[in-house]
A and B are shown apart, each in its own frame.
Chain A
Amino acid sequence: MADMSAIKKKGVTRRRFMGDILKTACGVGLFGLGLGLYSNRASSLPAHYIRPPGALPEDEFNGACIRCGLCVRDCPYDMLYLGEVGQNIPTGTPYFVARKAACEMCEDIPCVAACPTNALDHDLKDINDARMGLAVLVDHETCIAFLGLRCEVCYQICPIKDEAITLELRHNVRSGKHAIFIPVVHSERCTGCGKCEEACILEEAAIKVLPERLAKGELGKHYRLGWEQKERAGGSLVAPDIEHQYNLPEGMKYDHGGEGLIEEGGGNLPFSSNPLDTLNKGGGL
């Protein structure tokens, strides 16, 4: 009988012990689930918040950054900030907003040097290799260069002028006689510093730095560009096309270069090569 009561007593304590453990584990697990879901939602970085140079890809960055703010302190231009509680950015992580103040691309990259972890990659030695994002001329309707006006502010302010942003000459169809200078961003050189977005003269910048995933398309892996392959191989890789046969009046041939129908051997056309002569003759053809 005494044995029985001892066992019973022991059983109850063990039962209670296990119960307490399970209860705690369950509570902690539920709390963890909530925290995990919250953090998952809070981890996404809105496109207009840009990480400092050398920042790891966002997922890795959120695991490596210890939120000390040393990069913010060592930025000589005071353009980096730490995410505050309630802001739409992982709390305590560094960011900048290009439109407010862009990265000045210091040669010694003090923000990276200050980072006690590799959240800002210490292998980044040349600021021109930084990829904070990619500038994209997002709005062709309001960019005044597209309207035919001379602006070029983004082109002029670009720290890697003529490489990251170039001007492309186009014909102004509207006026028929003017040129348009279109700023064109080249992803292989653009660091995403944001100077162009900061400087854009519009009320809302027409050129914006976006995360690369938003800014770039991607060709199918199987794509081969014929002209590149041809150049690499030193000649056409497929049998050349058969020259197209046109049904033309005798002595005429068709020129693909824009001349149209021409007489073989040249000259002797039924009309002048200058259309004004025809018009000035006064009569019809």
Chain B
Amino acid sequence: MAIKPFPGKEAVDKKGWLKAYKWLIARRTSQIGILLLFLIGPLAGIWIVKGNLSGSMTLEVLPLTDPFLLLQSMLAGSLPIMNGAIGALIVIVFYAMVGGRVFCSWVCPVNLVTDLAAWLRRRFDLRANSALSRNLRYWLLGLVLLFPLLTGVIVWEYLNPVSMFHRGLIFGMGSAWVIVAAVFFFDLLIAKRGWCGRLCPMGAFYGLLGSGALVRVKAAQRELCDDCMDCFEVCPEPQVIKPALKGADQCIGPVILDINCTNCGRCIDVCAKDVFQFGSRLHNREGLPTSCAEAETREAAVAARD
């Protein structure tokens, strides 16, 4: 059996290094850039952004608040003041438009850690997978929201690796490294994409937040797909690709509508055939065979009659 080339190699050969890493570079720039914006204050005394991802103030005018944390605080019985509420609203509107899990792939610092674990898994061909369901995150989301309601305390913040890592980098790590390391080794050795893809309730929340997001990845030229599987290999949520890429026969449009697609754009990079591109969720029915539209009208008519 021939050894399969490392995912994305074909794209590099065909499109050139820069084009095959375009979105990854953009994403790392965004992640590290945002981190630097937070860090430049405490490190160099240049105060552009104060605070952390839980709540921040940019240039003394733009408040941003993590709506997930604010929701927990409200469930605990505390109302935000105007600034906090406006900050959360801005974040909600933004992610509702561009995709909730854009937070995960373009902002969250833990993504750097879990992406490293996933890369090592690919590099060393660690295939063992876990039985953890991808729906476990919604259970945890429920639990996390139930805690403040019952106890009046934001219990998740005693464990949340996302806020601990980010806050730690800016305000002082303490032993938060242990928790970050735990996430890394969990992803590397126990469950592939285990943290971000199966457990993180914050990702689940942002996913739901962006369930109607306008910006979506689209398998625009899916007929060119040669089943090399590279996109599935690199995708942090590979289950989201299949309906859009392979659903032409079942009258499924080419837009990846699954809320767990993080809009990371890595599938666009690694596809040598340029099947994927960023687009909008609109016009998803265009290009489907006419038989699909007919079938749908028939079904709608049946539903209306019943």
Q: Does B57 contact A (CB under 8 A)?
A: yes
What number of A residues sit within 8 Å (CB to CB) of B? 44
Q: Does B178 contact A (CB under 8 A)?
A: yes
Q: Does A153 contact B (CB under 8 A)?
A: no
Contacting pair B174 A85 (CB below 8 A): yes
A114 CA to B47 CA in the complex, in Å? 15
Contacting pair B83 A116 (CB below 8 A): yes
A36 CA to B73 CA in the complex, in Å? 16
Q: Which residues on B sit within 8 Å (CB–CB) of A31?
A: 140, 143
Q: Does A156 contact B (CB under 8 A)?
A: no
Contacting pair A118 B164 (CB below 8 A): no
Task: Identify B65's interface contact among A39, A66, A73, CB under 8 A.
Answer: A66
Contacting pair B153 A43 (CB below 8 A): yes
A118 CA to B85 CA in the complex, in Å? 11
What number of B residues sit within 8 Å (CB to CB) of A? 55
Contacting pair A70 B55 (CB below 8 A): yes
Contacting pair B50 A70 (CB below 8 A): yes
Q: Which residues on B sit within 8 Å (CB–CB) of A70?
A: 50-51, 55-57
Contacting pair A73 B155 (CB below 8 A): no
Task: Identify A118's interface contact among B78, B151, B176, CB under 8 A.
Answer: B78
Contacting pair B178 A85 (CB below 8 A): yes
Q: Which residues on B sit within 8 Å (CB–CB) of A87?
A: 174
**Interface with A: B165-173, B187-195, B230-238, which one?**
B165-173
Which residues B50-79 have CB closer than 8 A to chain A? 50-52, 54-57, 63, 65-66, 69-70, 73, 76-79
Which residues B140-173 have CB closer than 8 A to chain A? 140, 143, 146-148, 151-159, 163-164, 167-168, 170-173
Given the known interface contacts A63-B78, A66-B54, A84-B171, the answer about A116 and B65 at a Cβ–Cβ threshold of 8 Å is yes
Q: Mark A223-257, 1 if CB is under 8 A from B, else 0.
A: 00000000000000000000000000000000000
Q: Which residues on B sit within 8 Å (CB–CB) of A38?
A: 158-159
Which residues A1-55 have CB closer than 8 A to chain B? 20, 24-25, 28, 31-32, 35-36, 38-40, 42-43
Query: Taking the nearest CB of chain A, how far is it from the CB of B195, in angstroms?
Result: 14
Q: Does A60 contact B (CB under 8 A)?
A: yes
Which residue in chain A gives the minimum CB-CB distance to B172? A84
Query: Taking the nearest CB of chain A, how far is it from the CB of B110, in angstroms?
Result: 14
Q: Does A67 contact B (CB under 8 A)?
A: yes
Contacting pair A117 B154 (CB below 8 A): no
Q: Which residues on B sit within 8 Å (CB–CB) of A73?
A: 41, 47, 50-51, 57
Contacting pair A90 B174 (CB below 8 A): no
Q: Does A68 contact B (CB under 8 A)?
A: yes
Q: Mark B29-54, 1 if CB is under 8 A from A, else 0.
A: 00000000000010000010011101
Can you list 7 A-B pairs, Cβ within 8 angstroms, ordered by A? A24-B135, A60-B152, A82-B167, A84-B174, A116-B80, A117-B84, A118-B81
